[in-house]
Amino acid sequence: MRGGEAVMFGASGLDRAAALRLQPEVLAGLQAGGRVLSVWRGKPLFVQEAGLGWVWADHPVVRDGGPLVFLGREEDGQASFAADLSAWEPDSGAGAEQSFFDSSRQPHPALGQAFAFEDLRHAMMRLTPREAELAATARALLHWHRSHGFCAACGAPSVMEQAGWQRKCPACGAHHFPRTDPVVIMLITHGNRVLVGRNAVWPEGMYSLLAGFVEPGETVEAAVRREVFEEAGVRVGAVRYLTSQPWPFPASLMLGCRGEAETEAITVDPAELEDALWLGRDALLQVFAGRHPRIRPPRKGAIAEFLLRNWLADRLD
C-alpha cells in the first residue's frame, strides 16, 4: 500500500544501532551526552501541549529509575535511551492506565509543571514521527522488562543485558528476548460497504474495524478469515496485506489487511462484540464529519482510522 508507513508509530528511519548493544563501553560514553525518555507505568514523559519530555542522563529523575534501555541514535550521533520510573509513587496516589481514554497527568516533583507523565493513547497525536517511534519502542520494551523479570525456563530472577534488548538468567543461562504479538486488523468490504464492530467495554459510540491475535501455526490470511467469522459470522474470501503499525499497548504489531466478504449476514458473538454492522460510504463520511447519529469518529492515530480514511478516498492501492 502506497504511503502505508505514514501510519502513526510507523517507521521514521530511526537508526537502532543494534551493533552498539554489545559494546557497553561505547554506550557508557553515549549515555554521558545522551537524552533519556522516562516512562512511568506505561506513561511517557511529555511536555505540556508539546512532544516528549527528554532529560539528560544525569537528571535526578533518571537516577531514580532502573537501568537505561538504548533506543537508537540520530544522524548527528545523539543517542536516545529510556528509563522505567514505575517504582515512583506520586503524592496524589494516582494510578496509570485506569481507563480507555486516560487524560490524567502525573507531574514529577523534580521537574517543572510543564512536564508530566501522560497516556500515550491520549497524547500521541502531539508527536513527530520520530518521537512516536521512540515512544512506542520505549513503552513496549520497558513493559516487557517489568512483566518478564523471572526466567521462563527455571523461574529464577533474570537480568537485563544488551542495553535492554535481552534478558539472561544467571541460574540456568537461558536467554530471553522482547516479544511482539501479531494482530490482524481487517478492512472487510462487501460491495460499497465496510464492516465495523464495537466491544462492550469501549466508550459509547466507538466502533472500529474487527481485529484479533494471530494464533500459533496460522497464516495472516487464515487469521483474518477466522477472526471475522468467529466475531461476526461473515465468511471472507480473498485477503491481501496492506500495511502494519507497531501498537505499544502493550506490545503488538497490527497487520492491516483487506478482505472481501463472501456473505453479508451478521451473527455477533456476544463474548467478542456488542454490535457489528455494515457502513456505506455516505454513512462513513458522516462518521468522519462527526454527524453520524450512532457512531463517533474513529480515534486518530490508530491504524483503523488510517485504513478507513484511505478506503474512503480510494487510496488502498
Q: Take residue 206 and report the three cell numbers written for it.
A: 466507538
Residue 236 corresponds to which amino acid? V
> Who contacts 247 (Cβ-Cβ below 8 Å, separation ≥6)?
9, 136, 183, 253, 254, 303
Cell of 234: 461473515
Confidence at residue 98, expressed as pLDDT on a 0 to 100 scale? 53
Largest CA distance in the chain: 62
Cβ count within 10 A of residue 299: 17
Distance from chain centroid for Cα 229: 25
Residue 96 pLDDT: 47
CA dihedral 207, 210, 214, 218 (to 10 degrees): 180
Residues 6+ away with beta carbon under 8 Å from 77: none
* Per-residue cell: 298: 474513529
Q: Where are the alpha helices (DSSP H) in the chain?
A: 24-32, 60-63, 120-123, 129-147, 220-232, 281-289, 303-312
Instruction: Report d(CA 317, CA 298) in Å as an integer.
Output: 22
Among 195, 91, 82, 57, smallest CA distance to 134 is for 82
pLDDT at residue 102 in the model? 86
Strands (E), 180-300: 181-190, 193-198, 210-213, 236-247, 252-261, 275-280
Q: Where, residue-wise, is CATH 3.90.79.10 in the chain? A: 181-311
Residues recorded for the chain: 317
Distance CA 257, CA 275 (A): 21
C-alpha cell recorded at residue 309:
480514511
Look at residue 128 in the predicted model and tell me its pLDDT: 96
Kindly report the pTM of this predicted structure.
0.93
Give, for all 317 residues of the chain, the pLDDT tens digit: 878 888 999 889 999 999 999 999 999 999 999 999 999 999 999 999 899 999 999 999 998 788 999 999 999 999 999 999 999 988 765 554 455 678 899 999 999 999 999 999 999 999 999 999 999 999 999 999 999 999 999 999 999 999 999 999 999 999 999 999 999 999 999 999 999 999 999 999 999 999 999 999 999 999 999 999 999 999 999 999 999 999 999 999 999 999 999 999 999 999 999 999 999 999 999 999 999 999 999 999 999 999 999 999 999 98
- Termini Cα distance of the chain: 5
Q: How many CA atoms lie within 13 A of 66 on its CB side?
A: 20
- The fold of the 181-311 domain, in CATH, is Nucleoside Triphosphate Pyrophosphohydrolase (3.90.79)
* CB-neighbour burial class of residue 304 (10 A; exposed 0-12, middle 13-18, buried 19+): buried
Q: Cell for 71?
A: 533506543
Instruction: Give 190's contacts (C-beta < 8 A, 6+ positions apart).
Output: 234, 260, 261, 264, 278
- What is the C-alpha separation between 305 and 102, in angstroms, rounded? 19
CB contact at 8 A, 233 and 275: no
115 backbone dihedrals φ, ψ, rounded to 5°: -95, 140
